Structure 1
Amino acid sequence: MKLFLFPFFLLTVCIFTDKSFAENTTNAVADSTEVSEPYRILSWNIYMLPRVLLPVRVGPIRRARVMAQILKEEAYDVLVLQEAFDRRTRRILRRQLKEIYPYEYGPANERKISFKTNSGIWILSRYPMKHIAEIQYDEAVGPDAWARKGALMVEVDFDGQPVHIIGTHLQAGAGRSGDTIRFNQNKQIREELLDKYSKENIPVLLCGDFNVRHNNEIWYNKMLEVLGAEDGSFLSDFQYTVHGEKNDLTGGGANNVKVLDYIFTIDKKDKLKRIERYVKIYQKRWSKDHKDISDHFAVKALIWLSKN
């Protein structure tokens, strides 16, 4: 009797299994139709200080020309650039990239006549983009006091799916006082941009050089907490955005190896279905002694958005 029923049992299992597989496959296809293709974001401190502050050997003009070629070839959807202080280098980049990026804002906090320079924050997009707000930080010490460092917030329309993007560059160095200043600057982002302009159904990307070491757990966690943001691991083999041995513009050798640059997310309504982060190293010989294009490596993010 048991042997007689066994073939029937097998047939039943196979039918049920095939049905379940078909249902799961259909669900997977349905899920894929509800999620966008990945959009590509690049955040990069490009080391284009005012030329009066840079030695000739650092070659901002030559680097700008090489950088324009690289960015043109890469054709990201959005560029969030820091330290884009210098007008002439921006002009070189803009001239080469304007066909790819018809939308741009920044540098934030620029004034026509001033002893101080702008914030260096410049955002370019191939998708429609509108300016939301920009802020200038209340605190700055050392060389940072000669810039109007702050943050720039925009809204990018990715095929009908809006995303808020904030670009920033926080206080550099300054020892223990710098930790407190950076915390207060992040607090300004929270109070003057996120609390005022963010919307629950629009995800936020916070991009930039935050000058907070990833391995400084106390201040790193405080930063994420005050921003209400999330971070994630780099999926690239290379794990650092500053490296004194690997970057010929950085200096400091093995003692200067760290992560300072991030792309954080805030997503209250699960509109950002997936994000992948990578450190991107761009190198091309532009002088006898240098092939690195900036003293920081870039951070790339791929984002998948909900279509609902």
Structure 2
Amino acid sequence: MRIKFIIFFFLFLLKSICFGKNDHPDSTNSNSNILNIATWNIQMLPTNFSFVSKFLQKKQKTRTPLIIDYCIKHDFDIIVFQEVFDRKIRRKIIQGLNKSYPYQIHPIKNKKALVSNGLLIVGRIPLNYLDHIVFKPGVKADKYAAKGCVLFHAQVNDIDIHFMGTHLQSGNSSKAISTRKLQYRDIRKLMNRNSKDNNPFIILGDLNTKKSEKEKYLEMLNILGVSDSESIFKNLYTFSPENSWNNNSRPLQLDYILIQKDNMKLKINWQKVFKPTHLYKGKEMDLADHYLLNAEILVRK
């Protein structure tokens, strides 16, 4: 009997040694060279003055928990939100995502602007703030926000990647277009002064530049020194008349995930657009006026 017990114990111990890794998988991600990132303009305009204009009444309080739940259910490594202007809403999003996305860089404000840059950056992987710029005051409503660009970095596959989250001047007037061009140049200067050791850059956000206007679109890529996945992926419309918040006549791509040109450490595997909705009072309501843009990026040593 004692011999049987010893044999049984030995077999049990052997099984534990051989199969322990399957029963308790290593926490290290086997796809650590894959980066899953997203950019989303979520239209959280200040609610303090919503009584003044219907333009500011966007059901922010209704949409906030829905956006939080949506992001928790999706396994993004990093999300760059734009237009997180309302302070109370910002706190709710920060707190709501804190467990799933514990690494956060909060919106930045200067003394001249009424509201912050609206850029809230959250990650499941460690993020480190590096630098930021605030653009010169913009045109029309944009002049009230401290719009700019936030530079941060994360390490993926032992490579330090520099990310630039931004939100550029909106509008099609000649002044808006020239302002946007200056903002491209400001971002490029920020990139140049932080460029070292051939570390790659990724720019993501609402660049308010229509991909359909090829001359302006290509000029943007050239000034920023980045490449898009245009030749492979088409129709990544992030702003559409089908969206419940919009009345534009045709779909547009205004939001981008762009990688530094000629840097072989990064490759975009794919990009896709998510269009989350919610049934509100019997009607489909989009969670924001822009759709979420998601990309999977291969990081090579």
Q: How does 1:210-221 map to 2 (within 5 A)?
A: 210-221=207-218
Distance in 1, Cα, partners of 2:140 & 2:66: 31
Distance in 2, Cα, partners of 1:57 & 1:138: 27
Q: Which residue of 2 aligns with 1:69?
A: 69
Number of residue pairs matched by the alignment:
268
Amino acid at match of 1:296: H
Choose from 296, 301, 307 the match for 2:295: 301
Q: How does 1:16-55 map to 2 (within 5 A)?
A: 36-54=32-50, 55=54
- Flag structure 2 segments of 5+ consecutive residues without an equivalent: 1-29
Find out whether 1:188 has 2:182 as its counterpart. Answer: no
From the superposition, tell whether residues 195 and 231 of structure 1 become closer, same or farther in structure 2 (CA, over 3 Å): same
1:254-283 Cα offsets, whole Å, 9 max, x none, are x14211111111054411144321111111
Structure 1 residue matching 2:164: 3-state secondary structure:
strand
Choose from 219, 222, 231 the match for 2:219: 222
Question: How far is the alpha carbon of 1:293 from its aligned partner?
Answer: 0.3
Q: Which residue of 1 aligns with 2:59?
A: 59
Choose from 238, 242, 245 the match for 1:241: 238
Find out whether 1:83 has 2:80 as its counterpart. Answer: no
Question: How far is the alpha carbon of 1:239 from its aligned partner?
Answer: 2.9
Q: How does 1:112-261 map to 2 (within 5 A)?
A: 116-191=114-189, 193-233=190-230, 239-244=236-241, 246-252=242-248, 255-261=249-255
Question: How far is the alpha carbon of 1:159 from its aligned partner?
Answer: 4.8
Quick check: 2:32–2:157 contact (8 Å CA) kept in 1?
Answer: no
Question: How far is the alpha carbon of 1:251 from its aligned partner?
Answer: 2.1
Distance in 1, Cα, partners of 2:182 & 2:267: 31
Q: Which residue of 1 aligns with 2:19?
A: none
1:106-151 Cα offsets, whole Å, 9 max, x none, are 213x25x766100111111111111111111124110001111101
Quick check: 1:201–1:268 contact (8 Å CA) kept in 2?
Answer: no
From the superposition, tell whether residues 57 and 186 of structure 1 become closer, same or farther in structure 2 (CA, over 3 Å): closer
Quick check: 2:85–2:117 contact (8 Å CA) kept in 1?
Answer: yes
Identity %, equivalent residues: 28
- Flag structure 1 segments of 5+ consecutive residues without an equivalent: 1-33
Question: How far is the alpha carbon of 1:234 from its aligned partner?
Answer: 8.9
Quick check: 1:44–1:296 contact (8 Å CA) kept in 2?
Answer: yes
Distance in 1, Cα, partners of 2:62 & 2:32: 38
Distance in 2, Cα, partners of 1:234 & 1:74: 27
Amino acid at match of 1:304: L
Distance in 2, Cα, partners of 1:243 & 1:229: 25
**TM-score for both structures, normalised by structure 1:** 0.80
Quick check: 1:107–1:121 contact (8 Å CA) kept in 2?
Answer: yes
Distance in 2, Cα, partners of 1:237 & 1:214: 10
Question: How far is the alpha carbon of 1:289 from its aligned partner?
Answer: 4.1
Quick check: 1:209–1:261 contact (8 Å CA) kept in 2?
Answer: yes
Amino acid at match of 1:171: Q
Question: How far is the alpha carbon of 1:236 from its aligned partner?
Answer: 7.3
Question: How far is the alpha carbon of 1:201 from its aligned partner?
Answer: 2.3
Find out whether 1:283 has 2:277 as its counterpart. Answer: yes
From the superposition, tell whether residues 86 and 287 of structure 1 become closer, same or farther in structure 2 (CA, over 3 Å): farther
Structure 2 residue matching 1:291: 3-state secondary structure:
strand
From the superposition, tell whether residues 305 and 107 of structure 1 become closer, same or farther in structure 2 (CA, over 3 Å): same
Distance in 2, Cα, partners of 1:92 & 1:185: 30
Question: How far is the alpha carbon of 1:285 from its aligned partner?
Answer: 2.1
From the superposition, tell whether residues 217 and 235 of structure 1 become closer, same or farther in structure 2 (CA, over 3 Å): closer
From the superposition, tell whether residues 114 and 186 of structure 1 become closer, same or farther in structure 2 (CA, over 3 Å): closer
Amino acid at match of 2:135: Y
Structure 2 residue matching 1:181: 3-state secondary structure:
helix
From the superposition, tell whether residues 268 and 238 of structure 1 become closer, same or farther in structure 2 (CA, over 3 Å): closer
Question: How far is the alpha carbon of 1:249 from its aligned partner?
Answer: 1.1
Distance in 1, Cα, partners of 2:62 & 2:232: 31
